Amino acid sequence: MENLLIENGLNLPFLALVQNKPEPFAAGEPLFWDDPHISQQMLKAHLDPQTDAASYQPEKIEQTVQWLVAQLGMGEETAVLDLGCGPGLYTSRLAKLGMSVTGVDYSRNSIAYARNYAQQHHLPITYRYENYLDLADQNQYDVVLLISGDFCPLSPANRQKLLGNIWRALRENGRFVLDVTTAHLTYRVNKKRWVVAEGGFWRPGWHLVLEEGFDYPETAVHLDQYAVIEANGNCAVYRNWVQEFTVESICTELEQNGFVVETVGSDLMGTPATAKSAFIGVVARKN
């Protein structure tokens, strides 16, 4: 975090640097999903039934669970790991079907909400506050989930590391279920704007947000960048990287890391993939 107030006024050279196009997957503010204020706003977005901004809407989650149960033959003997589980929207539904369920998330607020919900509804779910890049489980799960495009913000090196973690965590012939975004996701457009707000997603008090989008067509990467400036001059730069995939590129990446792709669709509800699908849903088997 940088402070923009200097002896002679504003630190405009720093803001000029912020405008420069960063290298792909350059780090932004490290305290992001677990920031006390931001994570509360993210939790609200997860639980909002009117939007897909953080988690899919309830009817889509229900359809996804029903399709996965039928497609994978999941039942009471199935052990499931949900990575980036958020407030437990999938884990709670799977546990109600009698499955052995573990949820991992890097937001204390989301994990606290999920644990509280499980306790209130007497669901025997294991929740862990953990970065799934540090996942060390071995040969424990029949199915691993990574839903809502959580694979896409990771750099190539971190994606490879995560796939290795998932491969080790799965039992023999276990399935990995994920969805990724494509270049056809309509809300992803280059933008350059600023907003002043008295409280909002990024901060509880007065702040200025300088928002900008960058495209990297040579690597099919997009960046949404937010420079958040508080009234006291503190400035934090948040970067939301998105790797855009095609059916060919996601299948190739999975196969190069020890998986055999079984099904591909435009979602995880059984909808066939098309040339202009905004999402790609994939079920892959540990090879």
Print pLDDT tens along the chain (287 aa). 777 666 666 777 888 888 899 999 999 998 777 888 988 888 887 877 777 665 778 889 999 999 999 999 999 989 999 999 999 999 999 999 999 999 999 999 999 999 999 999 999 999 999 999 999 999 999 999 999 999 999 999 999 999 999 999 999 999 999 999 998 875 555 678 999 999 999 999 999 999 999 999 999 999 999 999 998 888 999 999 999 999 999 999 999 999 999 999 999 999 998 888 999 999 999 98
DSSP codes, 117-144: HHHHTT---EEEE--GGG----S-EEEE
Would you state the pLDDT for residue 8?
62
Would you state the pLDDT for residue 159?
98
CATH class of the domain at 39-184+245-286: alpha beta
Q: Under DSSP, is residue 86 helix (H, G, I), strand (E, B) or coil?
A: coil
| Listed residue (182, 185, 183, 180) closest to 162, CA to CA | 180
- The two structure tokens encoding residue 260: 């055999």
Question: Where are the chain's structural domains?
Answer: 2-28+186-243, 39-184+245-286
Would you state the pLDDT for residue 6?
62
Give whole-number Cα distances, 209 to 18, 33, 200, 226, in Å: 12, 18, 10, 6
Would you state the pLDDT for residue 176?
98
